[in-house]
Structure 1
Amino acid sequence: MIRILLAEDEEAMRTYLARALENAGYSVVAVDRGTAAIPLLERERFDLLLSDIVMPEMDGIELAQRCSEISPATKVMFITGFAAVTLKANREAPQARVLSKPFHLRDLVMEVDRIFASAA
C-alpha cells in the first residue's frame, strides 16, 4: 500500500485531506507541522510527502528539502493557498508538484494517482 505523510497545520483541512486519501486507498499518517514530520521520515518509509507550504516552525519547502536528504525516494507534493508561495516552491523544489487551494478532493486524489501512475 502506498504510504503518504501529510503535513498540514490546519486541523479541519488535515482531517479532510487524510480522509479523502484513505477513501482512495492510500495509507495516511498526518501531522500538524513540519517539525513533527522529520522524526517520522527518519524512522518510517513514505512514498509521498504531501505538505502545506505555510506552516509554523518549519515551512513545507524546508520540510521537503529535509525530506530529500533523509529519504530521497519519497516524492513531494505541496498544497498552498498562496500564489506567490507557489512560485517560490517551484524554484526551490523543482521536483515537487503544487496544488493550489481551493481545490476539490477529487483533484487532489487525481494528482496523487498521477504521481504514482507516472512512477509505475
Structure 2
Amino acid sequence: MVRILLAEDDGSMREYLSRALARTGYAVTSVESGIAALAELELGGFDLLLTDIVMPELDGIELAQRAGALYPDMRVMFITGFAAVTLQNGSLPPEAKVLSKPFHLRDLVAEVDRMFQIGSAADL
C-alpha cells in the first residue's frame, strides 16, 4: 500500500484531502505543519510527500528539500494556490509535481495514481 505524508496547515483542507486519498486506498498520515511533517519523516516508510507550499515555520519547499536529503527516492507533490510564482522562481525539485488550488479531488487522486501507476480516480 502506498503511504502518503500530507502536510497542510488548513485543517478543513487537510481533512478533506486525507479522507479522499484514504477512500481510494492510500494510507495517509496528515499533519498540520512542516515541523510536524519532519518528525513523521524521521519515522520513515512514506512513498509520497504531499505538501502545501505556503505554511508557517517551515514551508513546503524547505520541507521537500529536507525530505529529499533523508529519502531521495520519495516522491513529492506540491499543492498550492501560488503555483505561478513558485514555478517562476525555479525552486522546486525537478521531478516534483505541482497541483494548483482549487482543484477537484479526482485530479488529485489521478495525479497520485499516475505517480504510482495505479488507476482509481473514476470513483470520485
1:49 and 2:68 aligned? no
Partner amino acid, structure 2, of 1:47: D
Going by fraction, where is helix more abundant, 1 or 2?
1
Partner amino acid, structure 2, of 1:39: A
- Show the counterpart of 1:77: 77
- Show the counterpart of 1:32: 32
TM-score (norm 2): 0.90
Percent identity (aligned): 61
Partner amino acid, structure 2, of 1:48: L
3-state SS of paired residue (1:76) = strand
Contact 2:61 2:91 in 1 (8 A): no
- Show the counterpart of 1:58: 58
3-state SS of paired residue (2:9) = coil
Which segments of structure 1 move beyond 4 Å, counting only runs of 4 or more? none
3-state SS of paired residue (1:92) = coil
- Show the counterpart of 1:117: 117
Aligned residue pairs total 117
RMSD over equivalenced CA pairs, Å: 1.3
